[in-house]
Amino acid sequence: MSYQKRTSKPDFRPYRYKNAAMEFYCPLCRVPRAITVSHRLTAKNYIQIILLTVVTAASLWPVMDGRGVFSFFIYLGAFEGARRILFRKEVSCPHCGFDAGWYKKDVKVARRLVSEFWQDKGGDEQAEESEHSSQLAGSQSNNDYPESNLTA
């Protein structure tokens, strides 16, 4: 058997999500992205809402009679809100901080959010570098090296 040196290019494919609702590229950093949650309710969600409504109406029948059926709209609003919150959470790019939702609403706010993301990201790196350099300076001033303790 001969050993061949494997010269492969780096793998730039994104992490593969099961049942991705949407696959796209980030418009700012051009990283392939995928979102697993759609902002729209699915047939499964409507079935869940109907079952919750039936259980609620049945349990509240002695008190509210047929008016318990109107809990459908409460559950519909709760499910819709939860889906939209989950979608909003996944839209912003973890690599560059770009949020398409804010860009669509207000470009200035989107720019400010991206610049804050980079300041936070850059600020953490600068803080780590300064902490590391201060540790090095402290260790050199304490004469931690045994060779420096030798006298001639």
Q: Quick one: average pLDDT of 53-70?
A: 92
Domain boundaries, the chain: 42-91, 95-137
pLDDT at 148 over 70: no
pLDDT at 67 over 60: yes
Buried b (16+ CB within 10 A) or exposed e, 76-102: beebeeebeeebeeebbbeebbbbeeb
Q: What is the CA angle 29-33-35, rounded to 5? A: 140
pLDDT at 90 over 70: yes
